[in-house]
Chain A
């Protein structure tokens, strides 16, 4: 896939036809909805809608599916900010500062910055995709199993900054998250692990149930016990000030870069890159103590990263036919329904199709910001809905979302259990974000370590022999060392996650 203005121009002509515009708009709208609903992610959203799109011509159908994917990245942050319930795992870091802002009556500006950051990152990512795809494609395959392990290992050390002074509690939260996702059959070998003799546990614990339980259900419990009538009575100003934009703009650009480059790697989903972007922003900041207390950069960074990541995923998809995320795999599978050959050949043989989709993504990003900014006021009003109505509604959508992943009632019970666990974690001051991060990266970490050891015939030194993985490993160990040092130095109790070093 190489760039030519002719192709791009043709793409815009196709994408701007009335019919394709309409499907892009519908896709953006459904995507926003999919993002908002807890449990229902873009992958299941696209898979569910796939059979309904068979009436459309292929280009329109894929334009709509792609719009659902990046539209979900806009929507996921809404409930994270307004009611502290991330719609997707990738919005977990957004909730940290976003919900604090909402509590201060600044839900409007937070939502608006999210939309703007998504737009900036989405557009920057698209420019990368349009002009540099052939150059960038090689990045996607530079990473082998050792590099993936090292990257994921480094990502885990982010818990040090996610847990602030409560480092021991952060590590415990992480270890429990990791252990939970090991339950069931090993994805590669099928060996039954940690099932304690319960056959139901063979199916494993789906991490969506864990996330929805930890956030949605425990949030409802916290709110009903204090009989609050609504989450916030204050709405305040809807629009962000210039100062807000100026403050968060560098974060938008940085997170676009981070999200984009990590997003080129197959398997590195937005759920990982948003954590990394949040961490980097916190470290770069001159006032890291504001993070966790409503720092606007803490909202802009993850939102930028997830949009850039979702756009970057199209680079290996278009160049090699490799899907980087489950949603991409569904999209690729969808192509076959239309008689298109997935894999690198498609994009060689049908360039007009590929370019129409890229062009439609520019248009979709503009649509999403137009769609989202005026809606900020409406979304912000969710938090003034009386909680006795909002609470049961949240539970309803949580049950629906969790159940629809695999249609196992077991998953819904797991969600309930993690609701209770999340409740106690909040009461005892354990950070929840590390558990989510751990649940997301475990499988890839273990798989890639196993593969690395096969490649090296059992030697762990392979992780230090290959330059890229060596860099990640060294960074990870430095980070751990620093965390331990800070831990030894402070004498404060393991209490609050808000108070950071």
Chain B
């Protein structure tokens, strides 16, 4: 998928399949009681819309001949950065419950800044500490939101 035209053809076909799948999924919605507006109606209409538009897009791009702009894909290092950032974000969400919001925030912010700019280690650590403390003091302690506190802090008796 180097150019918009190629992408449109591929994505268009994918969308057509997605539309088909949604139509199929909609036909499996249990109706239960007879209602004026079937719960299948909206999902089916949308499934068909995606199917038709996806196919239309693929067809239109297939027949299109003219200037075809290239997609600005990231270079290898850019790709690596994106994947690393997404992995860090996933770890952040995944570890939030066991570690608790303040600690996992500290770890995430520090790690992410560190990764993006390894020469600024102190900035990374200080930002991590600052946001970790904010998340505890403002959101857990003061506003009393039920974010996970984490077993470490709970042991320390910090429970909101």
Contact = CB atoms under 8 A, between A and B. Distances in A.
Interface of A: 48-49, 51-52, 168-169, 171-172, 175-176, 178-179, 182, 186, 189, 191-194, 196, 217, 220-221, 224-227, 386-389, 391-393, 395-396, 399-400, 403-404, 407, 409, 412-413, 416, 419-420, 427-429, 442, 446, 449-450, 453-454, 457-458, 491-495
B43 A392 contact: no
Contact of A409 (B66, B86, B96, B145): B96
B131 A493 contact: no
Given A226-B78, A388-B117, A392-B127, A193 B96 contact: no
Contact of B37 (A51, A178, A453, A493): A453
B93 A225 contact: no
A416 B86 contact: yes
A389 B117 CA distance: 9
A196 B25 CA distance: 7
A439 to B, nearest CB: 12
A446 B8 contact: no
B57 A172 contact: yes
Contacts of B53: 168, 171-172, 175
18 contacts: A172-B15, A172-B50, A172-B53, A176-B50, A194-B43, A224-B85, A225-B78, A226-B74, A227-B77, A389-B123, A391-B116, A400-B135, A403-B147, A427-B73, A428-B11, A450-B35, A491-B64, A493-B5
A120 B73 CA distance: 43
A150 to B, nearest CB: 15
A194 B78 contact: no
A493 B64 contact: yes
B156 interface: no
Interface residues on B, range: 35 or more
B65 to A, nearest CB: 10
Given A221-B85, A224-B82, A226-B74, 17 more contacts: A168-B57, A172-B54, A175-B49, A176-B50, A189-B33, A191-B31, A193-B29, A395-B92, A399-B89, A399-B92, A400-B139, A403-B147, A450-B36, A491-B66, A492-B66, A493-B64, A494-B57
Nearest to B92: A399
A220 B144 contact: no
A352 B29 CA distance: 53
Given A48-B145, A227-B81, A428-B8, A412 B37 contact: no
Contacts of A400: 135, 139, 147
Looking at A171, A175, A407, A420, the one whose CB has the most chain B CB atoms below 10 A away is A175
Interface centre among A179, A386, A391, by most chain B C-beta atoms within 10 angstroms, is A179
Nearest to B26: A194
Nearest to A48: B143
A178 B42 contact: yes
B30 interface: yes
Given A168-B56, A189-B35, A400-B139, A493 B117 contact: no
Contact of B22 (A189, A194, A409): A194
